[in-house]
Amino acid sequence: MNFELGDVLIRREDIGQRVREMASDISSAYGDKELVLVGVLKGAVVFLSDLIRSLPVSMVIELDFLGVSSYGSSTESSGVVRIIKDLDINISGRNVIVVEDIVDTGLTLSYLMNILRERDPETLDVCALLDKPSRRKTDIDIAFRGFEIPDEFVVGYGLDYSGKWRNLPEIYTVTEKS
């Protein structure tokens, strides 16, 4: 199957505004507590970069990353989650926020949250730019949510299809070429 860019779903200005609002919400929720932000590679990198720059300079933030794979080169999650890069730091007793680009079925994030809970963090929350609740197969508590989107495959602002379109500054739908 071949795919092409569809319409802009979320404009650059709207993304920027919402990311700043989410940073403000995180700052209000955590105050002066030290945070560990865990970016889920690779899709969350662009969002995470903008998010940390929007947090107050006074906040003490440590970054780490988890690399996971559940899509391969498909537009549908395989349901099989592989950790391809684990955390480098110990999160025991720490305030941790998992930063995700998109929550779709919730299976990948549920798997990650279970693994991270076993590492005994003080708190463990989810911050997701995009939420696609119509596809959910498991309950996920998203403490900080950017946008709820319809059941469409999307790219841009870090999200890709088979390695393409991560660099787009806006979020687009992807359509099958006719």
Instruction: Exactly one of 14, 25, 86, 104 is catalytic; name it.
Output: 104
For residues 15 and 134, what is the distance between their CA atoms, to the nearest angstrom?
Answer: 21
For residues 102 and 90, what is the distance between their CA atoms, to the nearest angstrom?
Answer: 25
Would you state the structure tokens that stand for residue 111, as one six-digit string?
């798997």
User: 41: which strand partners?
Assistant: 67
Angle between helices 45-54 and 12-30 (to 10 degrees): 60
Would you state the structure tokens that stand for residue 155, as one six-digit string?
């790219």
- Name the pairing type of β-strands 61-69 and 3-10: unpaired
- Active-site residue, 125 included: no
How many residues make up the chain in this entry? 178
For residues 140 and 176, what is the distance between their CA atoms, to the nearest angstrom?
Answer: 29
Would you state the structure tokens that stand for residue 113, as one six-digit string?
């949250």
Catalytic positions:
104
